[in-house]
Amino acid sequence: MAKYKIAWLPGDGVGNDVMEATRIVLDALKFDAEYIHGDIGWEFWIHEGEPLPQRTIDMMKTTNAALFGAITSKPKEEADEELIPELKGKGLVYFSPIVRLRQEFNLHTNLRPCKAYPGNPLNLKEGIDLVVFRENTEGMYGGVEFHPIPQEVFDTLSKHHPKMKKFGKWGLENLAMSTRIMSRQMCRNIVTQAFEYAKKFNYKSVTVVDKPNVLRETGGLMVRTAREVAKNYPGIDLWETNIDAQTMWLVKNPMDYGVMVAENMFGDIISDLAAQLVGGLGFASSGNIGDNYAVFEPTHGSAPKYAGKYKVNPMAMFLTAKLMLDWLNEKADADRLEAAIAKVIKEGKARTYDMGGSNTTLEMAEAVAQKL
């Protein structure tokens, strides 16, 4: 029997291309795993009205971790339009399967490292080495949304908050509301993980990114909690920044930052920006990590126009596999894989189109496999 069971979830579009490439690399590594395919993605929305079928969740529960490729998501109207006729108009609501997985498995921590591997022509600057800790289950992704706002909800909010009333003049059918609900526990959890990481890898500071000058309650809770946590880490400074200014500073002085921590939506934004500093989404890996289970996925989307063309850069997916190996405590394999990836980047002989080359997704896999 193999040492690990890994749920294999290619999903949509180029998710399939990069996962196929990753398999070549994992096999070259002789990683001892059984891979179990799971249905997930747009196809299952169209035909079953459910992009994440229950059978996939059940299967995942029998595995140690999951590798996930990419997913297509579309706004409400378009999603409904594409359903097969039998399912149309039934009130089915599309919900992003990756967001659901994060909640279903309580994968509270989204870890997104962004490292400038020497020789990558896309690096903004050599030496950038950042990691974003993104709270992964709450905040603006909590899913508590209304349109229209039900009368009862409006009345209750108006009773408790004077600012609510003024919206009434538009008529409830014209009002939409998405909430940002955050708990002290989850703020503490994500900030603590950021500090622990800083301690383990010798970073001098942790930057908490929010907008407490405007989002006084949620942003305030995040920052106040961060200050409390910081007291337990005397050698590490806590920097507090606002999301808007932070985007500017990150482009201007990327070397100043090491570990960053943010609420779900702000973490989503800042991690795309951080990824671009080190070559864009072709290099951005991520881990959705819970207490006993984790789902690893590249930060990029499904890029439908490139699907099946073996054109996109699989490095993000390889680095994602490396994160999985780290999490499984297969440190030696993780290091070997990262070293092989770094060598291929440094040599610059194999490059996909985004790096100015013409190699295919699978040729990149062969190049990395050779180094292994």
Residue 96 binds which entry of Mg ion, ligand IPM, none, with Cβ cut-offs from 5 to 8 Å by kind?
Answer: ligand IPM
**CA distance to 17, 257, 279, per residue, from 126 (Å):** 29, 14, 11
Q: Which two tokens stand for residue 163?
A: 């600012």
Using CB under 6 A as the binding rule, whether residue 99 contacts ligand IPM is answered as yes
Quick one: 210 or 268, whose CB is closer to Mg ion?
Answer: 268
Q: Tell me, what DSSP letter sits at residue 201? A: T
Quick one: which of 74, 92, 96, 363 contacts ligand IPM (CB under 6 A)?
Answer: 96
Using CB under 6 A as the binding rule, whether residue 268 contacts ligand IPM is answered as yes
Identify any residues that bridge with 259 across adjacent strands, giving them in sequence order.
131, 206
User: What single letter denotes the amino acid at residue 366?
Assistant: E
Binding segment for ligand IPM (CB under 6 A), chosen from 5-13, 53-61, 96-104, 153-161, is 96-104
At 206 the three-state DSSP class reads: strand
At 208 the three-state DSSP class reads: strand
Quick one: 17 or 268, whose CB is closer to ligand IPM?
Answer: 268
Q: Strands 205-210 and 259-262: what pairing?
A: parallel
Quick one: 73 or 246, whose CB is closer to ligand IPM?
Answer: 73
Quick one: which of 263, 268, 326, 333 contacts Mg ion (CB under 5 A)?
Answer: 268
Shortest Å, Cβ 141 to ligand IPM: 7
The site map against ligand IPM for 31-70 (x = CB under 6 A) is: ----------------------------------------
Nearest to residue 112, comparing CAs of 233, 264, 340? Answer: 264
Shortest Å, Cβ 335 to Mg ion: 27
Max Cα distance, the chain (Å): 67
Quick one: which of 299, 352, 360, 361 contacts ligand IPM (CB under 6 A)?
Answer: 299
How far apart are alpha carbons 303 and 143 in whole angstroms?
25
Shortest Å, Cβ 221 to ligand IPM: 21
Quick one: which of 26, 28, 98, 270 contacts ligand IPM (CB under 6 A)?
Answer: 98
Quick one: which of 16, 22, 73, 192 contacts ligand IPM (CB under 6 A)?
Answer: 73
Nearest to residue 105, comparing CAs of 242, 9, 241, 198? Answer: 9
| Torsion sign (Cα): 139, 141, 143, 147 | positive
CB of 320 within 8 A of CB of 289? no
Residue numbers at the binding site for ligand IPM (CB under 6 A): 71, 73, 96, 98-99, 268, 299
Residue numbers at the binding site for Mg ion (CB under 5 A): 268
